[in-house]
Copies of this chain bind each other. A is one copy, B any other.
């Protein structure tokens, strides 16, 4: 992709991000790191998500299209919040998920993509990779911690209160660790231009 073309793509991406911010569709926790990345020459961010805890109702494994989000939290939570969200359930399996942040980053060149990838991996985002090396070069930055546990079926939680508390405790730890990693990454990103 030519320089001019890349700059157009970046400009559009920044515009989309701004629109999403105005519409309050961007997770606040991830905005500072997105801003830092977009300030660096040769990079822009596209759809990204801060770490989150999710209560999902899903008819069967992998059938994500038919899944319903009963709760989405971008913060530490209490077991009670999961129980309240679960009252909205109807049919299917209930899953409690704790997901690490996912950042999508466009890069101008493969060299830049490789450097950003190595930086992300060194900050603990070990599940990162280049998702597209065609016309657009797109990186996905992600770490490995997660919890994917079924906790109920057809509107009924089948885990004991003590067990739910443990699942929430683990989920909260995953969110905490995610925030630490984002912090480390932001620090390194701040010095990125110095090495160019």
Instruction: Please tell me if the beta carbons of B149 and A150 are within 8 angstroms of each other in the complex.
Output: yes
Tell me the dominant secondary structure on chain A's binding face. Answer: mixed
Contacts of A132 in B (CB 8 A): 114, 117
- Contact A133 to B113, CB < 8 A, known contacts A62-B177, A158-B160, A170-B61: yes
Instruction: Please tell me if the beta carbons of B149 and A148 are within 8 angstroms of each other in the complex.
Output: yes
Among B60, B117, B150, B167, which residue has its beta carbon within 8 angstroms of that of A150? B167
Binary contact readout A130-174 vs B (1 if CB under 8 angstroms, 0 otherwise):
111110000010001111111001000011101100110010011
The size bracket of the interface on A is 35 or more
Q: Is A110 an interface residue (CB 8 A)?
A: yes
Contacts of A173 in B (CB 8 A): 60-61
Instruction: Please tell me if the beta carbons of A61 and B129 are within 8 angstroms of each other in the complex.
Output: no
Instruction: Please tell me if the beta carbons of A145 and B114 are within 8 angstroms of each other in the complex.
Output: no
Shortest C-beta distance, A63 to chain B (Å), equals 11
Contacts of A110 in B (CB 8 A): 110, 133
Instruction: Find the B residue at minimum CB distance from A160.
Output: B158
Contacts of A160 in B (CB 8 A): 158
Binary contact readout A173-185 vs B (1 if CB under 8 angstroms, 0 otherwise):
1100100000000
Q: Which residues of A contact B (CB under 8 A)?
A: 60-62, 93, 110, 113-114, 117, 127-134, 140, 144-150, 153, 158-160, 162-163, 166-167, 170, 173-174, 177
